[in-house]
Amino acid sequence: MKKIGFIGGADKTNLIMYIAKVLEDLNKKVIVADTTLMQKTKYVVPTLDPTKSYITDYQNVDYAIGFESISDIGQYLGVKNTNSTETWPYDYMIIDIDSASAIENFEIDDGLDNYFVTTFDIYSLKRGMEILKNLPSTMTMSKILMNYNIKKDDEEYLLYLSADTKAIWNDFSLYIPILDENEQLMEENQRVYRPRLKKLIPEYQDGIIYIVQNIIKEQSVSRIRKMIKE
Which pairing describes strands 54-58 and 2-7: parallel, antiparallel, or unpaired?
A: unpaired
> So what's the pLDDT on residue 111?
65
> So what's the pLDDT on residue 188?
55
Of the pLDDT bands very low, low, confident and very high (cuts 50, 70, 90), residue 14 is: confident
Helices (H) and strands (E) in the chain, counts: 9, 8
* pLDDT reading at 190 higher than 70: no
> So what's the pLDDT on residue 101?
93
Higher-pLDDT residue of 63, 180:
63
CB of 7 closer than 8 Å to CB of 116: yes
> So what's the pLDDT on residue 139?
92
* pLDDT reading at 33 higher than 70: yes
Q: What are phi and psi for residue 141, nearest 5 degrees?
A: -145, 155
Of 123-137, 167-181, 214-228, highest mean pLDDT: 123-137
pLDDT digits (tens, 9 = 90+) for 45-90: 877 677 788 999 988 999 999 999 999 999 999 987 766 777 899 9
Task: Give the whole-angstrom CA distance, residue 65 versus residue 1.
Answer: 18
* Three-state DSSP class for residue 145: strand
141 backbone φψ class: left, alpha, beta (φ>0; ψ -120 to 50): beta
Task: Give the whole-angstrom CA distance, residue 214 versus residue 106.
Answer: 21
Of 38-42, 57-61, 64-68, 106-110, highest mean pLDDT: 64-68
Q: Taking the complete model, does pTM exceed 0.85, yes or no? A: yes
> So what's the pLDDT on residue 184?
60
Of 113, 139, 116, 110, the residue nearest 213 (C-alpha): 113
Which pairing describes strands 54-58 and 92-97: parallel, antiparallel, or unpaired?
A: unpaired
Mean pLDDT (the chain) is 85
Q: What share of the chain is helix, strand, coil (3-state, %, to 5)?
A: 40, 20, 35
Task: Give the whole-angstrom CA distance, residue 159 versus residue 168.
Answer: 10
Question: Taking each helix axis from N to C terminus, what angle separates 202-216 and 13-25, rounded to the nearest 10 degrees?
Answer: 60
Domains and CATH numbers, the chain: 2-221 (3.40.50.300)
> So what's the pLDDT on residue 182?
56
> So what's the pLDDT on residue 80?
75
Strand partners for 54 = 65
> So what's the pLDDT on residue 214?
87
Higher-pLDDT residue of 195, 145:
145
Q: Taking the CB of residue 83, how many other CB atoms lie within 10 A of it?
A: 10
Of 107-116, 132-141, 212-221, highest mean pLDDT: 132-141
Q: Is 95 exposed, middle or buried (0-12, 13-18, 19+ CB in 10 A)?
A: buried
